[in-house]
Amino acid sequence: MKILETVHDMKLYRQKMTSTVGFIPTMGALHRGHLSLIAKAKQECDGIITSIFVNPTQFNDPKDLAKYPRPLERDLTMARQVGVDVVFLPTAKEMYVDEYRFQIRENQLSKMLCGAHRPGHFEGVLTVVMKLLMITTPDRAYFGEKDYQQFLLIREMAQAFFLPTEIIGLPTVREASGLAMSSRNVRLSKQQRTVAPMLFHELKSGKTPLEIKHNLESAGFTIEYLEEHFGRRFAAVFLGDVRLIDNV
């Protein structure tokens, strides 16, 4: 497995990959959700690139960025075990040579749900994903549907800018309890882990949003939003200082 740290080296190596390439961008702290994306990519592509980059521009809260898990050696071991060919491991300085003067902005979908509560979040997401797609030029890129709003925005961005990459979304991978797999789950306490699966079970119940909100708040959740769009029910909540999102 190659580990490449500069845009120059990544582009150079990409030129040598002549067959179908699949790309899985991540912020590290890999879990079974990420591994399901890699497995699907391996089914459909000959070469697999994964990036690990905790993107600072998508964090509206500096404390959240500081606390984000970064188990790099574990991530690299997992990537090697599942057959990733290349891990792109850039620094923020490498990715933002312009010091983030240039940004990708979307004016409708990005203003609701997570975008309404995290100013600048999707500008950071779309900008870094555009950069990564331009650097790795994959045939297909894979994203989980836990971040369904993000998936829609990236897919529509690729279409709007006529990118050659096919953007593929895959169903949310869950723990046995129903809790959606997330890198943030490692920050949940033992007690919070027993409560957290309630989010999924309430969302998929036939209860009204008002009933769900009441039940979640009674269990100790703080509701950021609970809304229905695109035939789905979306929620973002806090357990302590850990933010969880899900949709069904």
The predicted model scores a pTM of: 0.96
Per-residue confidence at 10, pLDDT binned at 50, 70, 90?
Answer: very high
Confidence class for position 118, pLDDT limits 50, 70, 90: very high
| Domains of the chain as residue ranges with CATH | 2-170 (3.40.50.620), 188-243 (3.30.1300.10)
Burial classification of residue 143, based on how many CB atoms lie within 10 Å of its CB (0-12 exposed, 13-18 middle, 19 or more buried): buried
Mean pLDDT of the chain: 97
**pLDDT exceeding 70 applies to what percent of the chain?**
100
Active site residues: 34
Query: What integer pLDDT is reported at residue 191 of this predicted model?
Result: 96
Amino acid letter, residue 157: M
pLDDT at 24 (0 to 100): 98
Q: Which residue from 130, 10, 133 is spatially nearest to 58, judged by alpha carbons?
A: 130
Q: What is the pLDDT of residue 133?
A: 98
Condensed to tens digits (0 to 9), the pLDDT of residues 144-198 reads 999 999 999 999 999 999 999 999 999 999 999 999 999 999 999 999 999 999 9
Round to whole Å and give the CA distance between 7 and 111.
Answer: 31
